Amino acid sequence: MINSANFTDKDQPYKTVFFETFGCQMNKLDAELSLGLLQEDGYKIVDKVDDADVILFNTCSVRQHAEDKVYSHLGALKTLKKRHPEVIVGVLGCMAQKDGEAIFKRMPHVDLVCGTRMFSRLPEMLLKIRNHGSHVLAIDEDQIVNVKRAVTYRPNFYQAFVTVMRGCDNYCSYCIVPYVRGREISRTIADIKEEVQSLVSNGCKEVTLLGQNINSYGKGLDGNVTLGDLLSELDDLDGLDRIRFVTSHPADMSRDLIRTMSRLEKVCEYLHMPAQSGSDEVLKRMRRGYTAGYYREFVRYARELIPHLTVASDFIVGFPGETEEDFQETVQLMEDLRFQNCFIFKYSPRTGTKAAELKDDVPDETKRARNLKLLELQKKISLEENTKMIGKKVGVLVEGASKSDPNRLSGRTRQNHIVVFNGSQELVGKLVGVLIHEVTDLTLFGKLTSCL
Ligand code: SAH
Ligand code: SF4
Ligand code: F3S
């Protein structure tokens, strides 16, 4: 364990870092915060493993596949490490928290294992390894992460993700997150407001607030603070155009929050609220705390109050005991609620969770077939919904060049549609009007009509 907080390493001539991130948005933001810290400490970020003095993987444990990928990447570094033993190899994040010491046993060429609550001390840990050549294991769960953000380091100048809470207390039966991210801890409104204010002063126009279970934000803070209170405070910030928040848990959703959303000008008409299944029996075994009927009714209420609201969801197929009838109920839910976008996953048992005690009895080919069926259904729905946008003028915050066509611009509507259109680079970061004339299931294409 590392025990001194007073190392500095500013004068080292060489320091390059290669950093790869797996997993959810929260992990990506932790990567961004870590890289900000390392840059301040004099590191240069490189995009080839061969150019790096330090190679770091920020890892995910949510499904077996995510872990397998990291172990295979780590295995591939064995020969490099043999040739260059001075290169530091580190494993960060959720898999580091979960597997801890075992990673050194399985991959003896790894130098650093740093869990989900310790990454703010990366620079000193790396220095310690370099100076003493020793392994560092840092997986203390009781740490409270408070990173002074380097606001100038972010992938997109006009948008930023902001962590408002860490951890999860929900313990859905299939999910490893509470075990690797620890208990829920909310940051104070003052802290968050200060961070958002400094991002806005630095040019940021849109923030997405992050929490694994964001609508329970405020639990444990003084004075019965809620996500609605946080949104109201941020809505007052001059210079900020848009606020989003993810991910919402249906059981923690309140009608009060929907009313607040509908009232606040900057809060976008978009909800990512995973349903996971359309079958009450499966939802019960998943320990989700709501029924499909409740979920449907909540979406109906939200859509009634917030015109043009789009809803995105996650689904798990092949959960233990999921019958064909259960699956058809999921299909029906998807058909009825017409989500804008869905992430669909094959169930993957995670050791230590409640569901891992149940028999993983849905054969892999059934999981695969169900996964494909939902993907196809969602694709069809997305295309149909997007087609309804043809002929409409939408407001777009321009993010930059389109990934598929660098000669065109790309941005998003408040409802989180991706819009691609012709326009000059000066429009990046501006709100513009675009008339939609063509669509696919993933993208709207249009013509610039005005600056808003
Ligand atoms: N906090 C979010 C989701 C976090 S994990 C929420 O509660 O909605 C992201 C998604 O991964 C989940 O919504 C779920 O659909 C999926 N997932 C989690 N554990 C899984 C497992 N063991 N197997 C397959 N998918 C899983
Ligand atoms: Fe996992 Fe459930 Fe927590 Fe989401 S709410 S992170 S699915 S335990
Ligand atoms: Fe994966 Fe950890 Fe996110 S397990 S989904 S990276 S919280």
* Structure confidence by residue, pLDDT tens digits, 382-405: 999 999 999 999 999 999 999 888
Considering the domain architecture, whether residues 123 and 269 belong to the same structural domain is answered as: no
Report the percentage of the chain scoring pLDDT > 70.
Answer: 94
Mean pLDDT of 240-256: 97
Q: Is the pLDDT of residue 371 over 80?
A: yes
Question: Are 129 and 241 in a shared domain?
Answer: no
Confidence of residue 5 (pLDDT cuts 50, 70, 90): very low
Specify the CATH number for the domain of residue 218.
Answer: 3.80.30.20
Q: Dig out the tokens for 381 from the structure.
A: 């729905």
**How do strand 310-317 and strand 270-272 relate by DSSP bridges?**
parallel
Tokens describing residue 339: 């989500």
pLDDT at 403: 87
- Number of compact structural domains in the chain: 3
Residue 148 is assigned to a structural domain of this protein = no
- Is 347 touching ligand 1 by the criterion CB < 6 Å? yes
Q: 103, 138, 173 — which closes off a domain?
A: 138
Give percent of the chain with pLDDT exceeding 90: 87
pLDDT tens digits, one per residue of 17-72: 999 999 999 999 999 889 988 998 999 999 999 999 999 999 999 999 999 999 99
Cα-Cα end-to-end distance for the chain: 54
Same domain (yes/no): 295, 202: yes
Task: Give the pLDDT score at 3.
Answer: 38
Which ligand lies nearest to the CA atom of residue 367 in the structure?
1
pLDDT at residue 145, rounded to an integer: 64
Containing structural domain, residue 40: 16-138
Query: In this structure, which ligand is nearest to the CA of 172?
Result: 2
- Residues 26, 134 share a domain: yes
Q: Is the CB of 177 under 6 A from ligand 1?
A: yes
- Å from CA of 256 to ligand 2 middle: 22
> Is 345 touching ligand 1 by the criterion CB < 6 Å?
yes
Both 212 and 317 in a single domain? yes
Task: Assess whether 76 and 131 both reside in one domain.
Answer: yes
Residues 398 and 444 in one domain: yes
CA 350 to ligand 1 center in whole angstroms: 11
For residues 258 and 325, state if they share a domain.
yes
316 lines ligand 1 (CB under 6 A): yes
* Cα-only R_g, the chain: 23
Confidence check: pLDDT of 2 > 90: no
For ligand 3, say whether the CB of 227 is within 6 Å of any of its atoms. Answer: no
Span from the CA of 201 to the centroid of ligand 3 (angstroms)? 30
For every residue of 239-295, DSSP letters joined together read T--EEEEE---GGG--HHHHHHHHH-SSB-SEEE---B-S-HHHHHHTT-S--HHHH
Report pLDDT digits (tens) over 94-153.
999 999 999 999 999 999 999 998 888 999 999 999 998 889 999 987 666 666 777 667
234, two tokens = 């941020």
Query: Do 257 and 401 share a domain, yes or no?
Result: no
**Sign of the alpha-carbon dihedral angle for 367, 369, 374, 379:** positive
Does ligand 1 lie within 6 Å of residue 319's CB atom? no
If asked whether residues 24 and 77 sit together in one domain, one would say yes
**Amino acid residing at 170:** N
**Average pLDDT estimate for 163-192:** 94
Q: Who's near 63: CB < 8 A, 6+ residues apart?
A: 345, 346, 348, 350
Q: Say if 106 falls within a structural domain.
A: yes
Do 264 and 314 reside in the same domain of the chain? yes
Q: What is the mean pLDDT of residues 350-368?
A: 98
Q: DSSP letters of 243-259?
A: EEEE---GGG--HHHHH
pLDDT, residue 156, reads 83
Whose atoms come closest to the Cα of 26: which ligand? 3
Per-residue confidence (pLDDT) for residue 152, from 0 to 100: 67
The ligand 1 atom nearest the CA atom of 174: 22
Alpha-carbon distance of 318 to 322, in angstroms, equals 6
274 Cβ closer than 6 Å to some ligand 1 atom: yes
Per-residue pLDDT at 245: 98
Do 182 and 292 have their domain in common? Answer: yes
Is the peptide bond between 208 and the residue preceding it cis, with omega within 30 degrees of 0?
A: no
Span 138-173, pLDDT tens digits: 998 766 666 677 766 777 889 999 999 999 999 999
What is the residue with the minimal CA distance to atom 5 of ligand 1? 62
Task: Indicate which residue's Cα is closest to atom 1 of ligand 3.
Answer: 60
Task: Please state the rounded mean pLDDT for residues 363-380.
Answer: 98
Bridge partner residues of 398 (DSSP): 411
Q: What is the CATH number of the domain that holds 431?
A: 2.40.50.140
pTM above 0.85, yes or no: yes
